[in-house]
């Protein structure tokens, strides 16, 4: 599990159409996308017009076993692995979501965040619709279920034009599988094909490798791909929209290094970020070490460019769950050390550059510096392979609000002093973009520069729907009390 001091992952979506082992391949697809969310997962399959589904809390292998997968019948399936970015972490909020309506059965898996979710939900509830969850994804499925929107026939394109924000969707009906991306392309979504000709949709290409599927192409921003027995057809739902805004943090942290996004391998981009970091900040040191696993690629690049030797001085324990013991100082220290243990002999009396992908709150980075100095490191220099995080994300990453972002409230030197580091160096925004080999106009960099491509409610956060629901209930109870008091006055 990731430390609370790291940005949380959002979600992974996967779908397959036309394979006899659809549920099993979806399981493996979600397994490959597990890094995008570890709170819950689910699979929905379709056979002869009937949906079969299973959801659970926890990791993919904890939720599914051979018996469960055998009972998920059908040659098409969609799956989802979740970290909550809107709505609490609970089983009722696990995806894919399903509905049985006049248009038949529909299942939806969603990666991203809708910025107009609360407004749309109010609109639908005022029309009498009853919601079963507190996730913004249910708004999408409720809108898809409507035969008309705005007094005209509703289509997938009409629904997409009503929702705003970030979304990569995999949708399944009784006859089709549909993939869609928002017009900015905040979240990735790729198309693949298996040996038997089955179509595959996935948040990342790494899932294709696991199931021996071949990457075909990315779903374009604003594109809708419809897959059925006749093959794949494409619709551009936003033909006049040209602004692109892929989340640059996919390259920095979220995507797996073995994934390819927009034609660029994440592994190589991260190494280049490390090289660029070394070009921008020349440090006299004896050793470069990464924070596993997030800083490994950048540290390799930093070492290659600077000529400073690279060592894996921190060893990660991959089998760590949440501690169930009370948060005494002893246990807090244990939680830090059990995840990453230092080979002290490698750093004793050495000038060390420790490379990580980001600093959010700073407490974890501070503990790493302390561990190195306690082990006898002569100097500890911290190098970060992205710019300082100055602003919260409203498009599907659970970054904390500005009050909890270290860089939003402190200068670089103040952060250095807090970390007790001998120096602190961030990659520049220009260097980060240069490392991707793409133009700055291709990315959303709002968490760094505060320029949000899509307007949003300033009160927007993952609990906005729960808050509005509680407020509505409170107002309703108050109105009922006033009504009762009025009745009593009339009787008197």
Predicted local confidence at residue 66, as pLDDT: 97
Per-residue HEC secondary structure of 253-297 comes to: HHCCCCCEECCEEHHHHHHHHHHHHHHHCCCCCCEEEECCCCCHH
pLDDT tens digits for 357-399? 999 888 889 999 999 999 999 999 999 999 999 999 889 887 6
| Residue 427: Cβ within 10 Å count | 27
Predicted local confidence at residue 486, as pLDDT: 44
Burial 347-357 (b: 16+ CB within 10 A, else e): beebbbbbbbb
Q: Which residues of the chain have pLDDT under 70?
A: 1-9, 84-89, 320-337, 399-400, 459-492
Q: Please report, for the chain, the start and end positions of each structural domain, with discontinuous segments joined by +.
A: 11-243, 266-443, 462-492
Q: Which of 11, 247, 297, 447 is catalytic?
A: 11
**Bond before 96 cis per omega within 30 degrees:** yes
Q: Catalytic: 444?
A: no
Mark out the alpha helices in 307-362 (DSSP H runs).
329-339, 344-347
Kindly state the tokens that stand for 48. 């002869």
- Residue 202, C-beta contacts closer than 8 angstroms, at least 6 positions apart: 12, 13, 14, 15, 29, 32, 33, 189, 190, 192, 208
97 membership: H or E segment, kind and range:
strand 97-101
Question: By C-alpha distance, which of 98, 259, 263 is closest to 170?
Answer: 98
Asked if residue 252 lies in contact with residue 432, where contact means CB atoms within 8 angstroms, the answer is: yes
CATH architecture classification, 266-443:
3-Layer(aba) Sandwich (3.40)
Predicted local confidence at residue 485, as pLDDT: 54
Q: 11-243 belongs to which CATH class? A: alpha beta
Predicted local confidence at residue 473, as pLDDT: 52
Predicted local confidence at residue 492, as pLDDT: 42
């Amino acid at each position: 599990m990731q430390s609370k001091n790291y940005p949380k992952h959002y979600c992974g979506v996967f779908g397959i159409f036309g394979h006899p082992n659809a549920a099993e391949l979806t399981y493996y697809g979600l397994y490959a996308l597990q890094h995008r969310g570890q709170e819950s997962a689910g699979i929905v399959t379709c056979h002869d017009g009937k949906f079969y589904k299973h959801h659970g809390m926890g990791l993919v292998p904890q939720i599914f076993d051979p018996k469960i997968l055998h009972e998920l019948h059908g040659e098409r399936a969609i799956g989802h692995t979740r970290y909550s970015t809107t709505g609490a972490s609970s089983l009722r909020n696990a995806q894919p979501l399903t509905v049985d309506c006049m248009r038949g059965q529909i299942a939806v898996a969603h990666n991203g965040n809708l910025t107009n979710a609360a407004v749309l939900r109010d609109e639908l509830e005022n029309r009498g619709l009853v919601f079963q969850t507190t996730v913004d994804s249910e708004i999408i499925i409720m809108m898809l279920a409507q035969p008309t929107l705005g007094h005209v026939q509703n289509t997938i394109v009409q629904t997409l034009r009503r929702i705003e924000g970030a979304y990569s969707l995999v949708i399944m009906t009784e006859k089709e599988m549909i993939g869609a991306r928002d017009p900015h392309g905040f979240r990735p979504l790729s198309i693949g094909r298996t040996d038997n000709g089955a179509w595959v949709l996935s948040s990342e290409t790494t899932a294709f490798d696991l199931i021996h599927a071949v990457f075909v192409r990315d779903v374009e921003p604003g594109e809708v791909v419809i897959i059925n027995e006749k093959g794949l057809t494409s619709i551009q739902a936003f033909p006049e929209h040209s602004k692109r805004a892929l989340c640059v943090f996919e390259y920095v942290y979220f995507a797996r290094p073995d994934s390819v996004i927009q034609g660029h391998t994440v592994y190589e981009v991260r190494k280049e970020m490390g090289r660029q970091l070394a070009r921008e900040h020349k440090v006299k040191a004896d050793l470069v070490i990464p924070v596993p696993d997030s800083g490994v690629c950048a540290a390799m690049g930093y070492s290659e460019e600077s000529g400073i030797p690279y060592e894996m001085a921190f060893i990660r324990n991959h089998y760590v769950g949440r501690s169930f013991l009370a948060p005494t100082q002893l246990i807090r220290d244990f939680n830090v050390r059990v995840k990453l243990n230092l080979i002290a002999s490698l750093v004793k009396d050495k000038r060390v550059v420790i490379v990580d992908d980001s600093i959010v709150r700073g407490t974890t980075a501070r503990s790493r510096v302390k561990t190195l100095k306690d082990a006898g490191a002569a100097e500890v220099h911290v190098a970060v392979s992205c710019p300082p995080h100055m602003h919260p994300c409203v498009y599907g990453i659970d970054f904390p609000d500005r009050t909890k972002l270290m860089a939003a409230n402190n200068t670089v030197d103040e952060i250095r002093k807090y970390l007790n580091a001998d120096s602190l160096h961030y990659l520049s925004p220009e260097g980060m973009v240069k490392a991707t080999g793409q133009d700055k106009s291709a990315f959303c960099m709002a968490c760094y520069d505060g320029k949000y491509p899509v307007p949003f409610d300033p009160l927007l956060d993952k609990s906005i729907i729960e808050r509005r629901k509680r407020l509505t209930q409170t107002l309703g109870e108050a109105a009922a009390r006033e009504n009762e008091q009025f009745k009593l006055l009339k009787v008197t």
